[in-house]
C-alpha cells in the first residue's frame, strides 16, 4: 500500500500515523516588558469610563505578543485594577487562585470568606481558589493593585469555574486580623492543616520590608539577591499549588549570576530601577514596570544605581515541581556577557 493511501485511510478514521510527526520540543519564547506610564494612563481612563458594576472587569491585562490567548505568560496572568473612593467590586469566586499586591494607595480592603483584609501599599492579599471575595475602597483616593492569577493554566486545563454572588456584599464573620492569629507565628494550637490550596491571608508590607532588610546582610542568593517567598502559613509550602509569590531586594551595585529554569516568572518593579539580561535581550526597568521571563532563558539581574531595587514576582515553580518537571541550570559563576 502507498503511504499516501494509508495516511488518507487513517485520516478518514480520525487516526494519524506517527511517522508524519516530529516530536515537538520546547520553543524559546522572548521576554517582554510593560512600561508603567501607558498602563497608569489606561487605568485612570478606565476608572472614569468603566463602571465598577463590572467588578473584576475594571482591570487591564498585560498581554505578551509572544504568548497565545492574550495572556502575560502561558501559566500566570498579571492584570492591574483601580478602585475609586466609595466603590465596591461585588462578591464572586472562581477556581483560579488570585493574589493582590498593592501598587499605590491605601484605605481599601478585600473581604475574603468573611474576613476583611486591609490593603496598603506593598501588602499582599491572598484569595485562594474558590474563596468568595469582594473589594471596597473606603479612602479618599483611588487605589491601584496588581492581580496575579493562574488563569491561563486553569483555562489550558479547561476546568475554569466562576460564580457571582447573589448579594453584592457577603457578611463579615471574622475579626479583622483573625487569620493572622489563626495562622501566624503565634497562634492557637488547633490548626486545620488541610488547606494545601492556600489560605486567605494578608502579608503586611512593613513586615515584609523589615524581613528583607534584616536578612539582606546574611541571605544573598547569587541568582536573586535577597529573596523571600510568601509561604502558605498553614502548610509552610508555596503560596499556592499553582503559584509562588516572592519578593527580592537588589542592593545598590548588585549583580546576580545567570541561571535558567523550567518555571516562568512575571515581575513587577515595586521600588527603584535596574536591568535584567534575558537571553539576547536587556530589559531596563524602573518602578511601576512589569516584565516576564519565559522558561528556560538564561537571566541575571543588575542594580547599578545607588537606590535599592525591589521586585515582586509570581512564578509557576510549584506546578513544575509537582509534575516533576522542574529543572535548573547555573552559569559557572560567570556574569552574563554584556
Ligand atoms: O478582582 O477578583 O484581574 O476575579 C481578574 C479576575 C481581578 C478580582 C482580575 C478577578 C479579579
Ligand atoms: Fe476575583
Distance (Å) from CA 149 to ligand 2 centroid:
9
User: Does residue 7 form part of some domain?
Assistant: no
Mean pLDDT lowest for which of 99-108, 169-178, 183-192, 313-322?
183-192
Bridging pattern class, strands 162-164 and 108-112: unpaired
What residues are paired with 303 via a beta bridge?
A: 254
Domain containing residue 212: 27-337
User: Does residue 13 form part of some domain?
Assistant: no
Distance (Å) from CA 92 to ligand 1 centroid:
9
* C-beta separation of 316 from 148 below 8 A: no
Please tell me if the CB atom of residue 79 comes closer than 6 angstroms to any atom of ligand 1. Answer: yes
User: Does residue 314 form part of some domain?
Assistant: yes
Best mutation site among 58, 59, 134, 200 for ligand 1 pocket (most ligand atoms within 8 Å of CB): 59
How many Å apart are CA 195 and CA 240, to the nearest integer? 10
Contacts of 324 (CB under 8 A, 6+ apart): none
For residue 338, what pLDDT band results from cuts at 50, 70 and 90? very low
Q: What is the CATH number of the domain that holds 31?
A: 2.60.120.10
User: Does residue 237 form part of some domain?
Assistant: yes
For residue 130, what pLDDT band results from cuts at 50, 70 and 90? very high
User: Does residue 1 form part of some domain?
Assistant: no
For residue 141, what pLDDT band results from cuts at 50, 70 and 90? very high
How many Å apart are CA 294 and CA 259, to the nearest integer? 12
Residue nearest to ligand 1 atom 5, measured at CA? 56
How many Å apart are CA 226 and CA 316, to the nearest integer? 20
- Per-residue pLDDT of 23-45, as tens digits, reads 888 988 899 999 999 999 999 99
| pLDDT for res 142 | 93
How many Å apart are CA 280 and CA 338, to the nearest integer? 9
How many folded domains does the chain comprise? 1
What residues are paired with 255 via a beta bridge?
A: 302
What DSSP state is assigned to residue 65? Answer: T
- Per-residue pLDDT of 221-268, as tens digits, reads 999 999 999 999 999 999 999 999 999 999 999 999 999 999 999 999
User: Does residue 10 form part of some domain?
Assistant: no
Q: Would you say residue 336 has pLDDT above 60? A: no
- In this structure, the number of other CB atoms found within 10 A of the CB of residue 72 comes to 26
* C-beta separation of 94 from 162 below 8 A: yes
User: Does residue 11 form part of some domain?
Assistant: no
What residues are paired with 293 via a beta bridge?
A: 265
Residue nearest to ligand 1 atom 6, measured at CA? 56
**From start to end of 28-141, where are the E strands?**
32-34, 59-61, 77-83, 88-94, 98-104, 108-112, 115-119, 124-127, 133-137
- Judge residue 287's burial from the number of C-beta atoms within 10 Å of its C-beta, 0-12 exposed, 13-18 middle, 19 or more buried: middle
Amino acid at each position: 500500500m502507498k503511504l499516501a493511501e494509508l495516511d488518507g485511510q487513517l485520516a478518514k478514521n480520525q487516526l494519524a500515523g506517527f511517522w508524519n510527526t516530529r516530536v515537538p520540543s520546547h520553543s524559546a519564547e522572548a521576554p517582554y516588558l510593560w512600561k508603567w506610564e501607558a498602563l497608569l494612563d489606561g487605568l485612570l481612563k478606565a476608572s472614569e469610563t468603566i463602571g465598577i458594576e463590572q467588578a473584576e472587569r475594571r482591570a487591564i491585562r498585560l498581554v505578551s505578543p509572544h504568548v497565545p490567548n492574550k495572556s502575560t505568560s502561558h501559566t500566570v496572568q498579571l492584570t492591574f485594577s483601580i478602585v475609586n473612593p466609595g466603590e465596591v467590586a461585588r462578591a464572586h469566586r472562581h477556581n483560579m487562585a488570585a493574589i493582590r499586591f498593592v501598587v499605590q494607595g491605601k484605605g481599601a480592603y478585600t473581604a475574603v470568606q468573611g474576613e476583611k483584609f486591609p490593603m496598603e501599599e506593598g501588602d499582599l492579599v491572598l484569595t485562594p481558589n474558590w474563596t468568595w471575595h469582594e473589594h471596597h475602597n473606603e479612602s479618599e483616593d483611588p487605589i491601584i493593585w496588581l492581580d496575579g492569577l493562574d488563569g491561563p493554566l486553569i483555562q489550558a486545563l479547561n476546568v475554569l469555574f466562576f460564580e457571582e454572588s447573589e448579594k453584592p456584599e457577603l457578611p463579615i464573620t471574622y475579626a479583622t486580623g483573625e487569620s493572622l492569629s489563626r495562622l501566624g507565628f503565634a497562634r492557637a494550637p488547633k490548626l486545620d492543616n488541610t488547606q494545601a490550596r492556600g489560605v486567605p491571608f494578608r502579608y503586611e508590607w512593613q513586615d515584609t520590608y523589615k524581613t528583607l532588610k534584616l536578612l539582606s546582610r546574611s541571605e544573598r542568593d547569587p541568582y536573586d539577591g535577597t529573596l523571600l517567598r510568601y509561604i502558605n502559613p498553614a502548610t509552610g509550602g508555596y503560596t499556592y499549588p499553582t503559584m509562588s509569590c516572592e519578593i527580592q531586594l537588589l542592593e545598590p551595585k548588585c549583580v546576580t549570576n545567570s541561571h535558567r529554569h523550567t518555571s516562568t516568572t512575571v515581575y513587577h518593579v515595586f521600588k527603584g530601577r535596574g536591568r535584567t539580561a534575558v537571553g539576547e535581550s536587556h530589559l531596563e526597568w524602573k518602578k511601576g514596570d512589569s516584565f516576564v521571563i519565559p522558561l528556560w532563558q538564561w537571566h541575571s539581574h543588575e542594580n547599578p544605581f545607588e537606590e535599592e531595587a525591589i521586585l515582586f514576582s509570581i512564578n509557576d515553580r510549584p506546578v513544575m515541581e509537582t509534575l516533576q518537571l522542574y529543572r535548573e541550570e547555573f552559569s559557572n559563576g560567570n556574569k552574563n556577557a554584556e
